[in-house]
Amino acid sequence: MANSSPTKCVIIGAGPAGALAALYAARRGWDVEVYELRGDLRDASTTPLNFTKSINLALSERGINAMRQSGSDDLLETVLSETVPMYGRMIHGKSSSRLSEESQQYDVHGRFLRAVDRAILNKLLLNEVEALPNVKLHFNHKLTGADLRKRKAWFEQQPSRKPETADGAQAHQKQDASRSTEIEVDFDLILGCDGAHSSVRYHMMKSVRMDYEQSYIDTLWCEFTIPPAASASHTTPSARDGFATSPNHLHIWPQSDKMFIAIPSTDKSFTCTLFAPSADFTSLEKYPDGFLPFFQANFPGAADLVGRAELRKQFLENPHLPLISVKCSPHHHGSAGVILGDAAHAMVPFYGQGMNAGLEDVRVLFQHLDAHPSNMQGRAKALEGYSAERVPDAHTINDLALANYWEMHAGVTSPLYLLRKKVEEFLSDKVPVTGFATQYSRVSFSNQRYSEVAETVARQGRILVGGMLGTVLLSAMGWAAWWAWRYHKTGHSTMKTADGFAGLSMLWERVGRMLN
C-alpha cells in the first residue's frame, strides 16, 4: 500500500548531481529539502571547496540524457546554449623548431563534447529547482550527524556573513546570533551528493558493511587561464571567433609524464590545467625562476598564450591540488539512504566523466525507484537494484578514467594507439554491421553501461589482434613457402632452409610481443 503522504527526501549537496536529484524527486511529487555546506552556489562570492574555479567540464551524452529525462522541457536547451562544442583534441607540439597543431577528431560520425562552466551549469539547475513549490534550498548548513535507522539528520546552521560598514567593520550583531545553531530533520530518504569527502557516506558506513577504497595518484594539478584573443599577446593559426586558439577543441600539450590542457569557455577564454608529478611542483615552488624554461621545454607555445608574466603569477597564486580516487560498495543503506556522484565514485578527471557519471546516477536511481512501489519495501528493493547495477559501472569508469591519463599524454602520439583507433573507426563507419566502435565513443556518445563498454571493447581488441595475427600469419606462411621454394630451386642445403624457418620463428615471436 502506498504512503498517504508524499515521500520526504533530504538531499545533501547542491552541486550538479544534488540539484538534478532534487529536480527528479520534486517532479515525482516528493517533498524535497536540499542542504548545502557552502553559501548559495549561484553567488560569485561563494568560495568553492577547493578554492579554485575547478576544471571546466566536458558535458557528454550521459549527462545530456539525464537532463533530457528530468521532466523540465526547457532545461536542456538552456544548458546547451551555454556550452561550446568540442569536436576533438588539438595536439600541440614543436616540429623542426616550429610550433605545430594537430587535430584529432573524437568521433568518425561527427559527434562532439560540450565544454561547460560548472558554475553556470549549477546555476541553471538550481534556478530550475528553486522554481518548484515542493523544494526548499538551505545553504550554509553543515551535516553533523545522521541516523539512517531512525531516519534523522542533524545540521549545524552557519550564521550568514553580515554586510560590512563603510569603514570595513562588520555590522554589529548580538553575541548569540553569531553562534551556530543545530537543527534536527526527519526524512524518508536521504541522498548523499556531497562530494569525495562525503559526510553522508561517513555516517552510512557506521551501519553498513561498506567496502571502501581511497587513493591519490602522484599527480597534482593547477589551474590557469588563457584570455580572449583581444587580450592575448599571442594566438595560434587555428584561432578564430575571438578565441586565442581553436574554440572547438580540447587542447593538449602532451609529455611522457605530464600534460597541459585547455578547455574553451563561452566568454572566449580557456580554462587550463597543468597536470604533473608532485616532484615537478615541488621543484617549481622551490625554484620559481625555472618555471618559464620548464613550460617552454615541455609545453611549447602555452606560456605565450597564457602570458609569460601571468603564467608565473597564476602558478604562485592558484592552489596546487591532489587528485583523489574513491571506490565503495554498496552505494545504499536499506530503504533510507543512497550516495551518488563523487560521494560514491570520485575519479580522476582524465575521461571527463565525473560529472556525467554523477548525473547519470540520478537517472538510473530514479529509473529503479519508478519500477517499484513507493513504500519502504519497494524503495529498499529499488536501492538494492541501484547498487547492484551502479557499483560495477562506477568501478569501471573509475579505472577507465585513470587509464585515460596515458591516452591523453602519451596515447595521442602512439602509432599503435592511433592505428587501432583508425581501424575501429573505419569498421564503425564503413562496415557498421560489425558493431565496432572506439572505447571513447562508447563512453562519451552512448548510454551503454560502463561495465558493458569495457567488456565490449575487450572483445573487440581480441578480434582485432586475432585478425592482425591471422593476417601476419598468412603473410608469413606465404613468405616462408616462397623462401623454401626459392632456396630449394637454387640448390641450398636443408640446414640453411631450417635456419631460415628459425629466423621466421624469431620474427613471429617479435610480432606477437609487439601486438600484445
Which residue is listed with cell 617479435? 510
Say yes or no: 224 and 294 in one domain. yes
What is the spatial distance between Cα 340 and Cα 322, in angstroms, rounded to a whole number? 21
Q: Which residues pair with 124 in a beta bridge?
A: none
C-alpha cell at 399: 579505472
Low-confidence spans in the chain with pLDDT less than 50:
1-2, 51, 162-175, 469-470, 472-474, 476, 493-505, 507-516
Q: Cα separation of 345 and 211, whole Å?
A: 12
Q: Tell me, yes or no, whether 245 and 377 share the same domain.
A: no
212 grid coordinates:
571502501
Tens-digit pLDDT profile for residues 400-418: 999 888 766 555 556 665 6
CA distance from start to end of the chain: 58
- pLDDT of 211 reads 97
The counts of H helices and E strands in the chain are 16, 19
Q: Note the pLDDT of residue 513.
A: 46
* Amino acid type, 381: K
98: in domain: no
Q: Residue 128 in 3-state DSSP?
A: helix
47 domain-assigned: yes
Same domain, 344 and 296: no
Q: What does the DSSP 8-state code read for residue 176? A: G
| Cell of residue 231, nine digits | 587580450
Range of the domain at 51: 8-82+117-159+180-210+330-403
CB neighbourhood size of 422 (10 A): 12
Edge-to-edge strands of the sheet including 332-333? 135-138, 31-35, 8-12, 189-192, 337-339, 332-333
Let me know if residue 172 belongs to a domain: no
Q: What whole-number percentage of the chain has pLDDT above 70?
A: 77
Q: Per the structure, how many domains does the chain have? A: 3
Residues 63 and 206 in one domain: yes
Looking at 118-269, list the stretches that DSSP marks H as alpha helix, in order from N- to C-terminal side.
Answer: 118-130, 199-204
Q: What is the rounded distance in angstroms from the CA atom of residue 374 to the CA atom of residue 85?
A: 40
Beta pairing partners, 488: none
Q: Of 322, 351, 372, which one is at a domain's C-terminal end?
A: 322
Whole-number Cα distances in Å, 292 to 295, 301, 481: 5, 11, 59
Would you tell me how many other CB atoms lie within 10 Å of the CB of residue 425?
18
- Taking Cα atoms as reference points, which of 58, 81, 79, 85 lies closest to residue 443? 58
- Asked if the structure places residue 125 within a domain, the reply is yes
pLDDT digits (tens, 9 = 90+) for 268-312: 999 999 999 999 999 999 998 899 999 999 999 999 999 999 999
- Letter string b/e over residues 53-88, b meaning 16 or more CB atoms within 10 A of that residue's CB: ebbbbbbbbbbbbbbeebebeebbeebeebbbebbb
What's the CATH number where 381 sits?
Answer: 3.50.50.60
pLDDT digits (tens, 9 = 90+) for 88-131: 999 999 988 899 999 999 998 999 999 999 999 999 999 999 99
Tell me, what's the pLDDT at 417?
59
Same domain, 454 and 511: yes
Asked if 457 and 464 count as a contact pair (C-beta separation under 8 A), the reply is no
Q: Are residues 130 and 196 in the same domain?
A: yes
**358: nearest Cα among 118, 123, 159:** 118
> Alpha-carbon distance 269 to 433, whole Å?
42
The alpha-carbon radius of gyration of the chain (Å, integer) is: 27
Q: Which of 106, 128, 125 is nearest to 428 (CA)?
A: 106
Beta bridge partners of 206: none
Sign of CA dihedral 53, 56, 59, 63: negative
Region of 237 on the Ramachandran plot (φ > 0 left; ψ -120 to 50 alpha; else beta): alpha
Say whether both 310 and 334 belong to one domain: no
The reply to whether 317 and 219 lie within a common domain is yes
Task: Give the orientation angle of helix 450-489 with respect to helix 415-430, to 10 degrees.
Answer: 100
Q: Check whether residue 289 and residue 379 sit in a common domain.
A: no
Q: Is residue 388 part of a domain?
A: yes
* Residues with Cβ within 8 Å of residue 192, at least 6 apart in sequence: 12, 13, 198, 199, 200, 201, 204, 337, 338, 339, 340, 343, 344
* Same domain? 151 vs 70: yes
424 falls within a domain:
no
Torsion sign (Cα): 383, 386, 392, 398: negative
Residues 312 and 343 in one domain: no
Q: Residue 419: inside a domain, yes or no?
A: no
450 and 502 fall within a common domain: yes
Is the residue at 392 inside a domain?
A: yes
